Every structure is written in structure tokens, then in C-alpha cells.
Amino acid sequence: MLALYLAFPEAENTQRAQNTSNGIRRAKLIGRYPNKAPIEFINVTLMDCKKAITPKEPETEIIKWVFNQIVQSEQKIAEIRKIANEKGLTCLRSHF
């Protein structure tokens, strides 16, 4: 009897975890971003109480510049990161 009392909550927790994972996966499929926003975006709540992400204006331009520099130039990525940090991007080396 004790085994049954212990098994039912465990099964319920497993089912709840599965439903959460499926919900996050479904949200990503329809275009929502349920996680923490990437580096150049911020999480916002819209007027209809839905969550969304919007670009941060100064950092978005720096990120675009970084991608263009990586594609076009022969500079090392470390040098590009230092220049981007001087322009105002707050990003650690490991996250860059």
C-alpha cells in the first residue's frame, strides 16, 4: 500500500514534466520565444498579456556590425570582440 502512495505522485510529476516540455516545444513551433531572450533582444509583455521579444536598439546595430566584420574581414574574432566591447556591447568572451 505504501508503494502505491509513493508511486502515484511520482507518475503525476513525470506527466507534468512531459506536458511542460511539450508546451515549450509547441510555443517554439508557433513562433513564440519562451526562454530568456538572446543577447540583442529583451523580453516584453504585449498589450494582450502575451510574452514576446524585441530588439535592443544600440546592441542590435553592434551585433549586425560584428556579423558583417566576421564575414568580410580577415581580423581575428578576439579583435572583433574587443572593438565591439569598445563600441558598447557588454558581452563576455565565452558568450561571444
Check residue 33 and give its pLDDT.
79
pLDDT of the residue at 4: 76
Q: What is the per-residue pLDDT for 26?
A: 93
pLDDT at 42: 87
Helices (H), 30-95: 57-72, 77-87
> At which residue does the C-alpha cell 507518475 appear?
11
- Mean residue pLDDT of the chain comes to 85
Cell numbers of 69, please?
Answer: 566584420
Q: What is the pLDDT of residue 22?
A: 95
Span 31-57, average pLDDT: 82
**What confidence tier does 59 reach under pLDDT thresholds 50, 70, 90?**
confident
More confident residue, 26 or 40: 26
Rounded Cα gap, residues 87 and 25, in angstroms: 36
